[in-house]
Amino acid sequence: MNNIQSLTKKGSFYLPENISANLGQFDILFYVIFWLSVILFVGLLIFGFFFIISGKRQQDDQLAKKQITHNVKLEVIWTVIPTLIVIIIFFWGFKEYLIMRTTAPNALEIYVSGKKWFWEFTYPNGKKAIDELVVPVNQPIKLIMSSTDVLHSFYLPNLRVKRDVIPNRYTVMSFESAKLGNYNIFCTEYCGDQHSNMKAILKVVDSDDYTSFLNEVDFDESIPLSEAGANIYVKKGCNACHSVDGSNMIGPTWKGLYNKNREFADGTYAKADEVYLKESILYPQRKIVKGYQNVMPSYQGLLVDKEIDAIIEYIKELSK
């Protein structure tokens, strides 16, 4: 998918590449905790091994060489030192957290809406995009997020940030990317069947590309209508629930759909003509196809008429 940067091949052994402009210390803190842990762990192992080897029982009735039940000095040391280390880690973690949660005053605001199972982004000029977050490089970004159904969580591994997306409430997340490229976005709060497919791409571009993205017309007039429909099918995420090869997914397949008789959950019938298809896309909750759940989100305001026409054309094409 649009050659996204690798999480496993780039970056350090444990962490993916860090592209954040302000969280450089995050990785240092991670590895400080890591190496402290390794040193302590190896220390404990050495003591353990040494005690076992030197104390291994030779005869059945052998007793211990010594009985020690207290040592105040030792106990104070092994309480105070870990406590100090832990306090340092706490403050350091807290400091990074503050950086993470502080939004620069000049941040660019983008609205994010989580829906089962895709992300919709609304830019300052009103432009909307699905599963594609385009941001200018070296520019603080503020995401204002909300969900329309269940909980989701917006996760940018390369930027080390994540925030829950909650229905009926706005949550805010900020970041600033210092590096161009395409990166993964995952949903990390369990949200149902397609939770693991609720992915998106973060595209970090330079400011010229960003401006042209904002002004770019979504609809490509130069290709046949049904082909444009096929593109929208992928781009707008219909493919998460609808197949075009006859197989059943969360929603009915589009193959052979046009002009078929549809039976609905409430026992009524209708023919899948243009009017019905358009209604199904704009108001999916009005007629629920029998055997399916009422889970399709409404695309009202997300697709312009031209795009809906293209999809219908594509569905017709699939029924030939």
Residues that bind Cu ion (CB under 5 A): 152, 187, 191, 195, 198
* 39 near other proteins (CB under 8 A): no
Considering beta carbons, is residue 84 or 223 the nearer one to other proteins?
A: 84
CA 135 to CA 114: how far, in whole Å?
Answer: 18
Among 170, 190, 269, 283, binds other proteins (CB under 8 A): 190
In the list other proteins, Cu ion, ligand HEC, none, the entry touching 271 (Cβ below 5 to 8 angstroms by class) is none
Two tokens, residue 127: 């432009």
Q: What is the dihedral of CA 139, 98, 109, 200, to 10 degrees?
A: 80
Q: How far is the CB of 288 from other proteins (least distance, A)?
A: 13
Instruction: Give 33 or 244: the residue with its C-beta nearer to other proteins.
Output: 33
Stretch that binds other proteins, among 81-89, 121-129, 210-218, 222-230 (CB under 8 A): 81-89
Which of 258, 280, 313, 318: binder of ligand HEC (CB under 6 A)?
280
Q: Measured between alpha carbons, how far is 258 from 216 in angstroms, rounded to an integer?
A: 32
31 near ligand HEC (CB under 6 A) = no
Inter-residue contact 158 to 5 (CB < 8 Å)? yes
Least Cβ distance, residue 207 to ligand HEC (angstroms):
30
How does DSSP assign 179-240, residue by residue? Answer: S-EEEEEEE-S--STTGGG--EEEEEE-HHHHHHHHH--S--TTS-HHHHHHHHHHHTTGGG
| Residue 164 Cβ vs other proteins, minimum distance, rounded to whole Å | 4
Closest Cα partner for 136 from 95, 91, 102, 106?
Answer: 106
- Report the nearest approach of ligand HEC to the CB of residue 1 (Å): 17
Shortest separation between residue 189's beta carbon and other proteins, angstroms: 6
